[in-house]
Structure 1
Amino acid sequence: MSSPFSSRIFVVCFSILSRFSVLSSKFNPLNGQHLRVIWPLWEGNPKGLSGPVKSGVIIDYLKDRLNFTYEFVRVTENILEPRGKDRGLISYLLEDKCDFLMAGVTPTSGRMKLADLTVPWMYDCYDLLFAVTEDTVNIDAVVKPFQWPVWLGVLISMMGVITILNMLQYRLMPKVDSAIKPDRINIRNKPPESHPSRVKKGDGKQFLYVFGMLLSQGGSCTSKRLPFRLVAGVWTLAAFIFVQAYTSTLFTYVVAPVNYPLVDSMYGVAESTDVNLLFRHGATLNIFVMDPNATGVYVKLRKNVDSFPNSRCNLISQCLSLITPGSRNTFANSRNFQLDAIKSNFEKTGKCGLQMAGDCFLSLPVNFALQKHSPYTETMNKGLLDLQQTGIIDHWDSWFRPMPPQCMANVKKGYKKGETKHMPISLKNLTGAFVVLSVGLSISFLAFLVEQIISMIVKRNVGKVAEISLDNNSNSQDLNIIDLATEICLSSNPIKPE
């Protein structure tokens, strides 16, 4: 992998080859000058300040290209414009303590009044950064393949088919058959009490038949009549369609990721009520969101910011400290800074704990700044344009910001790894199926307990009835014995008349 040292060699070589074309074409006011430069990421500044990583190489290129020397000015501020009593980086330009500000300066009307801005040397946008969510239990995977109107339609269809099959077999068919087989009249004219078990058993068969088709278990057709078989055949076809549509879609929900991103865009944050938006005080987004005349999505974002007391921070590290696993916080910042945060987090923890939404919001040009009406502005612009023509600015990202391959899926939306590792389906993917099984077993066990309780009550009542009947039988037998003894006595000792 190339190093920053090799990039400096390239800059020097390119500068030597192209210096004469610029210097000979027009007078160079930077020739032999010494500039005071502010680069927030200079090692002499406090850690945690925000600034472009590539500024250090760009200033070396411009130095060799335009033949000037420079020194870095130490700063402690992390905002551009002065805010109240707090100074900003632009304050150094206004106070003539700096000649060239190499921070990420996006053009606004206020900034253009305070300083000269160079041509854009890159374009960037805001992206959302949040913690990677942990895997959640995929309970509702078994019901997701169908929307609730489809489930309701299937349930109504099942009840309707069961009712129609029962009517055909036990209401309409006997009347049709009575014209052919008169012997059925006696069966039909019997009171309902004479064959209740038959009707109950038939209802259960239709119920099992309808459910068996949905479970791909099949079932026996309890009637040979053509209307009955037509209804059963139609249900078989409908059940086949239902089952195929359900099973083909169920697989995608079972193996789908169960760690859904916290949010997918800035507009999702604006519409959400439980996601907290974070950004820096010195960010350009802060100007748009906190503008009293803001409209549209910025008004909703300001309401979100006002609802969370720690929504704005001075340093990126302060905002990142609030991005923790399980939190509902998301940090909005320049996409390049977000890449640095993901890379730094991976180097510290050894895993990709941060993720970007992948939605570019508020795309803006990035400039450098000089003092207002500076004589070096036009020359700096030409040097930056020459550097852009080489195309090396974008290529420097692969040198200064190499993203770990493990984290590429957290950076690019829809990114697919070159080597796909097939992971076995985990328990969290099939939690819904086990929940359904547990509920079914619980209901079955509850029904078993109810049957046992009813059986015990019935046995107890039967025992009491048996005891009462035995007592009655013994009493009647005693009375019979007494009557028999009385008759014997009377027959052996007849009463004589006086």
Structure 2
Amino acid sequence: MKLIVPRPEEENRLFAFIGPFQPLVWLLIFISIFPVIGAMTFFTWLYKHLHWNNDASRGNNSIRWFTTISSSHMIYVINTLTNQGGREAFDRLSFRVLTGVWVLCAMVLVNCYTGIVTSSLTTPKMKPTINSFEDLAASKDIRIVLRSDTSMGDQILRATSGVYKVFGDQARRYPNQLVDNPFKLTTALQTGRYAYPYELPLLKI
């Protein structure tokens, strides 16, 4: 018993920009941004705090200063992730170590992401091929089409168990999957949405 199946189509690459990383990885990258910004803001506050002597002016401008510095660090972190670059003015070793670790991680992520996206866009990825009746039963895109005037179609429609019963129930549920002449069968197969089972003729010697 054989199957006539449509030629495998190329998978949709509309959302290829999301594919390189799994959702959990995207979530972890998003979460990691906030501790990095918080640590950079803390180091900046610490360095500035060591040089502040006027408590009154520090209290009056603390909220505005915190907002400005946090926004600046956020822009720097996002620019690094998007491969835009940027600069930070502090020359303290601890701050440089923190930004260096972040830049290194961002460089690895950006290069991995770019490489995977480039390869996925240049190399076509085909949908899985249907090689058996089990593959056809599990497929969501391809359905079976039967000729009701053949022994093969009658056998599937009369089946009471197994994969044949699945096909029979499917054909009864969707009447357009039952045809009674080869012209309708050809029309259905040309749509690329149906597979047709048939038996090889026995050769008498």
Q: Distance in 2 between the 1:365 and 1:131 partners?
A: 21
Structure 1 match to 2:60:
193
Matches of 1:256 and 1:164, distance apart in 2: 41
Q: 1:330 aligns with which of 191, 194, 197?
A: 194
Spell out, residue by residue over 1:27-61, the C-alpha distance to the aligned partner (whole angstroms, 9 max, x if none): xxxxxxxxxxxxxxxxxxxxxxxxxxxxxxxxxxx
**CA displacement at 1:292 relative to structure 2:** 3.7
1:185 is paired with a residue of what secondary structure?
coil
Distance 2:176 2:61 in 1: 79
CA 1:158–1:288 in 2, change beyond 3 Å: closer, same or farther? farther
Aligned CA-pair RMSD:
3.2
Match of 2:29 among 154, 171, 184: 154
1:204 aligns with 2:64: no
Name the SS of the counterpart of 1:207 in structure 2. Answer: helix
Conserved? CA contact 1:131–1:323, under 8 Å: no
Are 2:173 and 1:307 aligned? Answer: yes
Distance 2:8 2:40 in 1: 54
Letter in 2 for 1:198: W
Report the counterpart of residue 164 of structure 1 in structure 2: 39
Q: Quick check: 1:288–1:294 contact (8 Å CA) kept in 2?
A: no
Q: Distance in 1 between matches of 2:59 and 2:174?
A: 72
Match of 2:185 in 1: 319
Residues 287 and 324 of structure 1: CA distance in aligned 2, closer, same or farther (over 3 Å): closer
Alignment-derived partner of residue 103 in structure 2: 236
Q: Does 1:252 align with 2:115?
A: no
Q: How does 1:218-367 map to 2 (within 5 A)?
A: 218-257=85-124, 264-265=130-131, 266-272=133-139, 275-283=142-150, 285-295=152-162, 297-325=163-191, 329-334=193-198, 366-367=201-202
What letter corresponds to residue 367 of structure 1 in structure 2? L
Residue identity opposite 2:171 in structure 1 = V
| 1:198–1:214 Cα change, 3 Å | same
What is the Cα deviation at residue 206 of structure 1?
0.8
Aligned length in residues: 204
8 Å CA contact 1:263–1:269 kept in 2: the answer is no
* Contact 2:158 2:168 (8 Å CA) reproduced: no
CA 1:139/1:221 → structure 2, altered by over 3 Å: closer, same or farther? same
Alignment partner for residue 5 of structure 2, among 121, 129, 134? 129
Contact 1:289 1:299 in 2 (8 A): yes
- 3-state SS in 2 of match to 1:252: helix
CA distance in 1, matches of 2:83, 2:62: 32
SS of match in other structure, 1:149: helix
Normalised to the residue count of structure 2, the TM-score between the two structures is 0.79
Distance change (3 Å), C-alpha of 1:189 and 1:289: farther
Conservation of the 8 A alpha-carbon contact between 1:278 and 1:311: yes
Which structure: larger Rg? Answer: 1
Letter in 2 for 1:230: V
How far, CA to CA, are the matches of 1:284 and 1:256 in structure 2?
43
Identity of aligned residues (%): 20
Q: State the distance in 2 between where 1:264 and 1:366 align.
A: 22
Distance 1:168 1:299, change over 3 A: farther
The CA deviation at 1:305 is 1.4
Higher RCO, Cα 8 Å, sep 6+:
2
Query: What TM-score do you get using the length of structure 1 for normalisation?
Result: 0.36
Match of 2:14 in 1: 139
Distance in 1 (alpha carbons) for counterparts of 2:97 and 2:152? 68
Give unpaired runs (5+ residues) of structure 2. none
1:162·1:210 contact (CA, 8 Å) conserved in 2? yes
Query: How many angstroms apart in 2 are the aligned matches of 1:303 and 1:192?
Result: 76
Higher percent of residues as strand: 1
CA-to-aligned-CA distance 1:443-468 (integer Å, 9 cap, x gap): xxxxxxxxxxxxxxxxxxxxxxxxxx
How many Å separate the matches in 2 of 1:189 and 1:143?
49
Give the deviation of 1:236 after TM superposition: 1.0
Compute the displacement of 1:248 (Å). Answer: 0.8
Alignment-mate amino acid for residue 305 of structure 1: A
Shift of 1:221: 2.3
d(CA) in 2 for partners of 1:190, 1:278: 81
Structural mapping, 1:35-114, within 5 Å: none
Structure 1 residue 279 displacement after superposition:
2.1
Aligned partners of 1:194, 1:261: CA distance in 2, in Å?
Answer: 60
More helix, by proportion: 2
Q: Any idea what the Cα deviations from partners look like across 1:261-297, whole Å, max 9, x if unmatched?
A: 59735434323466432022355543552344432x2
Q: CA deviation at 1:257?
A: 3.8
Which AA in structure 2 matches 1:225? R
Q: What are structure 1's unaligned runs of at least 5 residues? A: 1-124, 335-363, 369-379, 382-498
